[in-house]
Amino acid sequence: MAHLGGVAAVTSLVLYLLWRVMFSLPTAPADQAAAWALLVFETLPLPGMIMNTVAWWNLDSSAPPTEGAGLGLKVVVLIPTYNEPAEVLAPTIAAACALTPAHETWVLDDGDRGWAADLSRAYGARYVRRDEHRHAKAGNINHALGLMEREAAAGAEAVDVVAVLDCDHVPLPSFLSGTLGWFADPEIALVQGPQTFYNGGAFDDDGITGEQGLFFNVQMRARNAAGAGPFWCGSTALLRVEALREVGGVATETITEDMHTTLKLIRRGWRTVYHHQTLALGLAPATPGQYLLQRRRWGLGAMQILTLEKLWAAKRWMSWRNFHEYLNGTLWWLEGVATVGAFAVPALALASGAQTSTADPLVFAGIFTAAFTVRLWGAKRLMRRQIQWPTAFALRVFRIPVGLACLWWLVTRRSLEFEVTPRVLRAAGPGGSSQRSSWRSCSWSRGSSSGPAPDWRDWCRGARPRPRRRRRGPGCCCPSCCSSSVPRGSGPRSSPRRGATPTG
C-alpha cells in the first residue's frame, strides 16, 4: 500500500499540472506572467515528492548481531543534566544503573547541584562536574571524554563505547543489550534508536505517534540503506569513542552538536545505523512555548550547519543519498517561509486582477480538490500512516515563526546560544493521568551496583533516600512498560526529540 500511495501522490500532482498547462492557462499576454508564476509555485512540491517516494520505498529494521554482543567492550552511559528537577533525573539514573551488561553510569551535572551528586552516588552512578561550563551539552560530554582519556593514560581500562541519554529519557532493559552487537562492525561509529515519549497531552500529541512519529518510524528507518545512515539525535544513542576522538570530540561550533558531529563522522568515513526498537521513554515538550523553543533551536542549528559545512557543495565528500538527506533536512527548517508563500502567492495573484485560469470555477475546484485528496491519501500511505493531516497542518502554521527566524539568521548571522528545553513532569490534562502520579506508581525493584535501589520519590521531597527491599522479577521503568523488553518498533507514542529534523 505504501508503494501504491507514493505512485498515486506523484501521479495526481503530475496529472493536475499537465491539465493546468494544457487546458487552463490564459493566452492573453497581460495574464501570463501571473498565471505562470502561480503554476511554478504549484510545481514546487513535485521534486520533493519524487525524492521521498524513492527514499521511503523500502524501510529497513535490521537487527544487530546478537552472538557475543558487547563482549569485551567497556561501556559508559552518559546522562548530561543542567537544571532538571529530581523527579525527572532520578528515574533515568536508577534505570541506567540497572542496565546489563556490566557498564558504568556517569551523571554529567552542569548545574553543580549537591543533591544531584548525592542522588547519583545513592544509585551507584558516578557524579561528574566541571569548572568551566562552556559549549553547553557538547562541552559537558567532551569534558567526560577528556576525563576518560586522562584516566586511560594513567592506567585505567579504556572506554570503547559511550551511550548518551537525555536526563528525561528512562532507558528500558534492552537499551545496551539490544544495541551493542552493532559495534561488531568496526566501521560503525553511531547507533541511533528512536525517541519515544510517554507524556500523553504533550503539545504535539495527535493521539497516535506525535508529530515526529514520521521521522523515527519512517525516515530514519529508510536511511538504513547503502550510502545513507541516520544522524545522532542527541539521546538514545551509542557512539564509538575512537570515532569521536578522531573528529575532535562532540562538535561545539553549532547549537545542534549531534547532527553536526554526525557529519564530521561521515566525512571521516565512519558509518551510522538505526536501531528501530523502543529503547527509552522520555518527555516531549508539554507547552507551546517549550515546543517553539525546541524547534527554534533545531532550526537555527540546522542553518548553522548548512552554512558552516556548505552543504550545497558537500557532494564531493557525501554519497548522493546522504547529500539529499542532509541538504533537504536542513533546508526543511525554512518551511515557515514556504508556508507564508502558500498563503501569499495565491492571494497576490487574486489581488492582481490577472486571470490565472481559463477553466470554469466549478471545474477548477473539482479537479483541484480531487487531485489534492488523492495526493494526501497517497502521501499518508507512503508515510505508513505516521501522520495526522489536521495536526500536521496546524503545527506547520504554528511553526511559521521558526522558519522566519531561520531566514533572519541567514541574513544577520548573529551568534547563537544553546537554550535548554524545560523538562518538568506535568499533568496530562483532562481525562489523562498525571506523569507525576504515574512515575510514583512505578516500583524500582532492581538494585544498582552499590546495593538495593533507594526510593527516588524521597529525593523529590528533598529527603535522603531510604533503602528498599529488593524484589524478585524484572524492574518497571515507566508506567507504559512493565516488562523486560519491548518488541522492535513497538511502544508508546514514538516521536523524536531531535530533531529530529523531518525531511518531508
Per-residue HEC secondary structure of 271-307 comes to EEEECCCCCEEECCCCCHHHHHHHHHHHHHHHHHHHH
Angle of helix 389-398 relative to helix 288-308, nearest 10 degrees, comes to: 70
Residue with the three cell numbers 487574486: 350
Distance CA 380, CA 9 (A): 9
Active-site option among 109, 166, 204, 258: 258
Distance CA 476, CA 481 (A): 6
Whether residue 205 lies in the annotated active site: no
Active-site option among 109, 110, 168, 206: 110
Collect the ranges in the chain with pLDDT lower than 70.
Answer: 66-69, 418, 420, 423-504
Domain ranges in the chain are: 2-57+332-412
Q: Determine the pLDDT at residue 416.
A: 73
Pairing of strands 271-274, 126-128: unpaired
Pairing of strands 161-164, 237-240: antiparallel
> Contact at 8 Å (CB) between 273 and 180?
no
Whether residue 168 lies in the annotated active site: no
User: What is the residue-wise DSSP string for 29-96?
Assistant: HHHHHHHHHHHHHHHTHHHHHHHHHHHTSS---PPPP-TTTTTT--EEEEEEESS--HHHHHHHHHHH
Q: Per the structure block, which three cell numbers stand in for 442?
A: 512505578
Q: Determine the pLDDT at residue 158.
A: 97
> How many angstroms separate the Cα of 26 from the Cα of each of 31, 32, 367?
6, 6, 17
Does an H or E element contain 379, and which? helix 361-382
Radius of gyration of the chain (CA): 24
Distance CA 395, CA 213 (A): 14
